[in-house]
Chain A
Amino acid sequence: MARVSFTGNLQRHLACPPAEAGGATVAAVLHAVFQGNPRLRSYVLDDQGRLRRHVNVFVNDRAVGDRRGLSDPVGDDDEVFVIQALSGG
């Protein structure tokens, strides 16, 4: 199970405590989290399921490369960080 945590700026809008979630990719891990917190999905992903432009996801210390399909691999001992990009101003 990967450990998933969210930026505090997102927690200003809705509760999203750190979670443990299984899955082999970023998409699978996030979708597992969204199952227990459906509102969270639209804060992280856009209408087409892409990572929002000003949201970043890191697997450990590495930013995900596939912002559209979220296919970057995730291992059981990995940490997934959902953070806001500074590009949004």
Chain B
Amino acid sequence: MVATLHVASRKGLLTFVPDGGGWRLDRTAFLGDPVTAVLPDGRDGALYAALNLGHFGVKLHRSDDGGTTWTELPAPAFPPADGGGDGQDGPSVSLIWTLAAGGTDRPGEIWAGTLPGGLFRSPDRGAGWSLVDGLWNRPERAEWFGGGYDLPGIHSICIDPRDSGRITVGVSCGGVWISDDGGTEWRLGGTGLRAAYMPPERAGDRGIQDPHRLVQCATAPDTVWCQHHNGIFRSADRGDTFTEITAAQPSAFGFAVAVHPRDPQTAWFVPAVKDECRVPVDGRLVVSRTRNGGASFDVLAGGLPQATTFDLVYRHALDVDADGRSLAMGTTTGNLWVADGGGERWTAVSTHLPPINQVAWAP
């Protein structure tokens, strides 16, 4: 099967395919519109795209022919608020931050993480959505606050391949939440995470952590890697508890993380200068990789610019393919790279794209 790379950008959904020894832009959808999330669903071949039209709100589209034609679906939306009779002070979805496919045992089930912190579930390929009340109604949510945006948001949804009722989600800033029953009951995970941006006595408060991104190993789903605002952490129990990883070079700050689908000890990060500066360390764009669970890291710079770079790879803009060999990353300055061989050598696909929100290999 031909490798296909979907890029959700500030100016549309861009799809790249191999062309000779390089890559070419095969298709552009939603030209001019900010695409905030893309989901190629390997279960049925559907392709989902979430848009934020700014003036006209968040939208969701699905293609069943690989992106040739699209159908607009209802976007996740909060129900009318109780109390005032007209719901005038209730919440409204302002961003679809991430989309995730349910397990193979639940065909058609799709999840969406949003700002202002709502988790939504669709049982029918996006035809209808409902707010996951069990998480939204947790009293701890009152303590959540924005991280990256004014409002708190759910950016990571990890569905356990062994049992798709077991879900781990990441909230910026609201910690790591875990359900074992498909989203009815939730518990707060994240023991061991550390928030240096809080008063010292609250640094270990699990409910206000800022896990920039959570990823789960496909074949060893107890392993969850976390690129946190204050460092890199790894969990061996689906997110209940974490161990801080301090060996990363040249820094432990960043947004993105990808985990090898078959080796839970291998993960990739894109380090940056913490935390307001957010540029590559010393102007050198590199990827850091561990192959031993975080005991040590390789700094991978092959093919990447090593001077005067300002690239930042955002939460969803680093991805590894299903074989664990090909990686892709896109930056907020519109540069797109791919690498074979686990990241040893990177090739620029384009250096003049719009700001990139997400990259996703077609499964």
Contacts and interface: CB of A to CB of B under 8 A. Distances in A.
Contacts of B54: 54, 88-89
Interface string A52-87: 101100000000000011000000000000001100
Contact of A47 (B72, B86, B93): B93
B80 interface: yes
Contacts of A10: 55-56
Contacts of B88: 48-50, 68-69
B56 A47 contact: no
Interface string A22-48: 000000000000000001001110111
A36 B268 CA distance: 50
Nearest to A86: B55
A55 B57 CA distance: 10
Nearest to B56: A43
B55 A48 contact: no
B8 to A, nearest CB: 18
B230 to A, nearest CB: 32
A48 B75 contact: no
Interface string A1-18: 000000001100110000
A13 B93 contact: no
B55 A88 contact: yes
Given A39-B72, A69-B86, A69-B88, A48 B56 contact: no
B interface secondary structure, majority? loop
B108 to A, nearest CB: 22
Contact of B81 (A14, A48, A85): A48
A50 B57 CA distance: 12
Chain B residues touching A, range = 20 to 34
A84 B55 contact: yes
A13 B56 contact: yes
Contacts of A46: 57, 92
Contacts of B80: 47-49
A54 B55 contact: yes
Contacts of A50: 88, 92
Contact of B90 (A9, A13, A48): A48
A14 B91 CA distance: 25
B129 to A, nearest CB: 11
Contacts of A47: 77-80, 90-93
A49 B87 CA distance: 8
B300 interface: no
Contacts of B78: 47-48
A54 B56 CA distance: 8
A55 B81 contact: no
Given A47-B77, A69-B86, A52 B91 contact: no
Interface in B25-79: 53-57, 59, 72, 74-75, 77-79
Given A48-B78, A48-B80, A48-B87, A13 B53 contact: yes
Interface of A: 9-10, 13-14, 39, 42-44, 46-50, 52, 54-55, 68-69, 84-85, 88-89
12 contacts: A9-B55, A10-B55, A10-B56, A13-B59, A39-B72, A42-B59, A47-B78, A47-B79, A48-B78, A52-B55, A52-B57, A69-B86
Interface of B: 53-57, 59, 72, 74-75, 77-81, 86-93
Given A42-B77, A84-B56, A88-B54, 19 more contacts: A10-B55, A13-B56, A13-B59, A14-B72, A42-B59, A42-B74, A43-B53, A43-B56, A43-B57, A46-B92, A47-B77, A47-B78, A47-B80, A47-B90, A48-B80, A48-B88, A48-B90, A50-B88, A88-B55
Nearest 5 interchain pairs by C-beta: A46-B92, A47-B92, A54-B55, A43-B56, A47-B77
